[in-house]
Amino acid sequence: MLLAGGQGSRLYALTRDIAKPAVPFGGKYRIIDFPLSNCVNSGIDTVGVLTQYQPLQLNEYIGNGQPWDLDRVHGGVYVLPPYQKSSNSDWYTGTANAIYQNINFISRYDPEYVVILSGDHIYKMDYSKMLEFHKEKKADCTIAVMEVPWEEAPRFGIMACDEDHKIFEFAEKPKQPKSNLASMGIYIFSWDKLRKYLEEDEANPDSENDFGKNVIPAMLANNERMYAYAYQGYWKDVGTIDSLWEANMDLLNPNVPLDLYDDSWKIYARNPVMPPQYVADGAVTRDAMISEGCIVEGEVDFSILFPGVIMEKGAVVHDSIVMPGSVIKAGAVVEYSIIAENVVIGENARIGCRPENVEDKENWGVTVIAKGIHIGKNANIPAKAMIEQDVLEVGSDDE
Amino acid sequence: MMSKTLGIVFSNMHDATMGKITENRTMGSVPFGGRYRLIDFVLSNLINSGIQDVGIITKSNFQSLMDHLGTGKEWDLSRKKGGLTILPPYGRHEATYYRGRLEALGSIYSYIRESKAELVVMTDCDNIASVDYADVIRYHREHDADVTVIYKNKPITKSIHRDVITISMDENKRVNGALVNPESTSGNVLLNMTVISKRLLEKIISDATSANFYSFTQGILQNSNQRLKIYGYEFKNYVADIKSLQSYYDCSMDLLNPEIRRQIFPADRPVYTKVRDEVSVKYGINAKAKNSMIADGCVIEGVVENSLIFRGVKIGRGAVVKNSIIMQGAVIGENSTLDCVVTDKDVMIRDSRTLVGCKEYPLYIEKGTAV
């Protein structure tokens, strides 16, 4: 069960009209491709995707599941929005409530175990190994954890475990963390137990119907068998502009252990129907990822261009992400920015700024241009700006 | 209208002129344009013209073609009605290994007869262009033609001077003659794309079987142009005419021209192909690329100039690839130099090798070779 209904409000303009899991990532993917591909590669062939916030693009993207080999005769991928019931119809009020409202869906498959995932993390993980661990420990609930730097621990759900990996304490965003084992938002439950706790949680009017805040603490309080499954490898929550930018840039870093070229664990995506990219005479493509359909006449350095991006002569993109179909016109300079889909950056415009060129270092940040925005000629968009409306052309340079 | 049209693709025609490239594959499965096979352009033309019922005639070496096409879903040809049908030889008990186009059609006679189509579009895989058959069919109907053949007026260079057929027409574009491999240096060259009514095609096939002739050119274009109303439809845009390794090389290099690219890949008429789930191209810190087409899944650490790089190619540090076509899955070792080379699939060039052909005689490296 893949939780994909969140708004992703900390991605601001990027999730104005698409759900966070549908945000483009890493050249030709969307965030949801990672958990979906992990499922398929782990041998999970029935996946429910719970949607709520701005689901149109996500629905269209998932379609019949064919790109992930999830167009199955038995099982496959199902998009599960909230729906009307004979009594009390409601939006999904929390992560646990979303699963609660789909108890009937899950029961149709009569599973022994249910894997709960979130649609906003970038990582590669074999859930079947975690399930083996769950079975071996005869656990009721297994939570995937990883070590995080101590200073970051207060941002996560933190587990305290004994030597057998049994969890004895769980604290959601603790001020004084007792360990640095953070929950990755990946749970395996034995279905009978989960069902019981979901029903109890729903009956409790004070509950926020959230796994981290309510269901997990309730299970712990009742001494259920809860285990922590230690994950080692690359994992990144891409819930903020900075972390989204960083996670993209990580793909260009040879020292980051997220190998997209590993044939045994491919990340699948709905592929664009476009010709190969064309790199013109005079272009610079250094330390970059560039996708199909791009036409590069300018300079790309330490950046990611998504499919169908057009860069005219003299355009410069440094340390940036340019999402599908955007056009960077001649002479425009884009630095430390995220350019969303189908944006047009006018001639000689300047977008974003490198940190060393900013006086007020505290207020430096990645610049974001929202989907479909047109930035006029010669316009200057400062660092950390978030542009959600067209910006008009500015008089020419020699004024 | 178009739902009543059947597409028939000859995947093996012209195999013989291509040398080693077609040793283990059909003409239709020859890789072209970075991420395509020739048949992708042919099928996409049919789909983009609304033709959803397509039979592919194969003769030999068609395993790679079948692997590429699968159920046809990537071309949206996995249909309940119609869709993609692969027609291997020996489809009928008495069928033989066909010698000519009409004999090939004879072996799929029942497939054609059972189709509900009114018109049939027949095409080979040697001429690569973005063709709108809807327009050709309109022309066919306007002229009340029995047969419409598509041609292009162009030079006949040495590199395509094999299997070339030119036609002559009267002032109304009615065909009154055809020549095979003419001596002239230019002419109205057939693109081997033909529109014909299904009923007439059936009759021609059964006549050909009983009279024992098998060549469409001879039997129809040359001998029946008085009896049948055969019209020529002039195609004016770019056509890649692939008849030899040399013309394959030249046409591939043509794709580096932006105007030709626009004509081969019009934005509103996409070219579909098999999805391989490759990563975007990754350029290393010392990578340099210019005037090149590079497909997904490549990792470029060296220098690429005036070249076509297919999917999943790795070019090592310090390597220089110029004026070359590197097909899928090749590994070019560090500090190697390739100039005017065509490497077939999965070639491995070890470190510090130098391979040089020339533009008029590119060096071809066979599939799977390690150098």
**Looking at the partner chain, which of A267, A276, A288 has a beta carbon nearest the beta carbon of B293?**
A276
Which regions in chain A score pLDDT beneath 70?
Answer: 396-399
Q: What residues in A contact B289, CB-CB < 8 Å?
A: 279, 283, 285
**Looking at the partner chain, which of A269, A289, A305 has a beta carbon nearest the beta carbon of B277?**
A269
- What percentage of chain B reaches a pLDDT higher than 90? 75
Amino acid letter, residue A53: Y
| Nearest-angstrom CA–CA distance, B160 and B182 | 12
Answer yes or no: are the C-beta atoms of B215 and B252 closer than 8 Å: no
pLDDT tens, A204-222? 999 999 999 999 999 999 9
| Nearest-angstrom CA–CA distance, A20 and A108 | 28
Q: How many CB atoms lie within 10 A of CB A341?
A: 21
pLDDT tens, B60-108? 888 889 999 998 999 999 888 889 999 987 766 555 567 788 888 988 9
**Looking at the partner chain, which of A278, A282, A289 has a beta carbon nearest the beta carbon of B280?**
A289
Residue A259 at interface with chain B, using a CB cutoff of 8 Å: no
Check whether B138 has a pLDDT greater than 80. yes
Which residue, among A30, A66, A270, A290, would best test binding to B if mutated, counting the most B CBs under 10 Å from its CB?
Answer: A290
Residue A268 at interface with chain B, using a CB cutoff of 8 Å: yes
pLDDT tens, B109-125? 999 999 999 999 999 99
Structural domain boundaries of chain B?
A: 2-264, 282-365
The distance of Cα A80 from the centroid of its chain, to the nearest Å, equals 18
Q: What residues in A contact B295, CB-CB < 8 Å?
A: 276-277, 292
pLDDT class of B2 with cuts at 50, 70, 90: low
Instruction: Provide the pLDDT for residue A135.
Output: 97
pLDDT tens, B320-358? 999 999 999 999 999 999 999 999 999 999 999 999 999
| Nearest-angstrom CA–CA distance, A284 and A299 | 4
What is the reported pTM?
Answer: 0.92
List, in order, residues 6 or more apart from B78 with CB less than 8 Å away.
B71, B72, B84
Residue B274 at interface with chain A, using a CB cutoff of 8 Å: no
CATH topology of domain B2-264: Spore Coat Polysaccharide Biosynthesis Protein SpsA; Chain A (3.90.550)
Of B181, B180, B241, B244, nearest in space to B17 by CA: B244
Q: Among all residues of chain B, which has the CA nearest to that of A251?
A: B282
Instruction: Provide the pLDDT for residue A87.
Output: 73
Answer yes or no: are the C-beta atoms of A105 and A80 closer than 8 Å: yes
For residue A276, the 8-state DSSP code is P
Residue A278 at interface with chain B, using a CB cutoff of 8 Å: yes
Structural tokens at position B57: 């005639």
Instruction: Provide the pLDDT for residue A399.
Output: 43
Structural tokens at position A320: 């940036």
Answer yes or no: are the C-beta atoms of B117 and B5 closer than 8 Å: yes
**Looking at the partner chain, which of A260, A277, A285 has a beta carbon nearest the beta carbon of B287?**
A285
Is residue A8 left, alpha or beta, with left meaning phi > 0 and alpha meaning psi from -120 to 50? left
pLDDT class of B210 with cuts at 50, 70, 90: confident
Cα B28-B125-B143 angle, rounded to 5 deg: 150
Pick the CATH number of B282-365 from 1.25.10.10, 3.90.550.10, 3.30.465.10, 2.160.10.10: 2.160.10.10
Q: What residues in B contact A308, CB-CB < 8 Å?
A: none
Residue B260 at interface with chain A, using a CB cutoff of 8 Å: no
Check whether B239 has a pLDDT greater than 90. yes
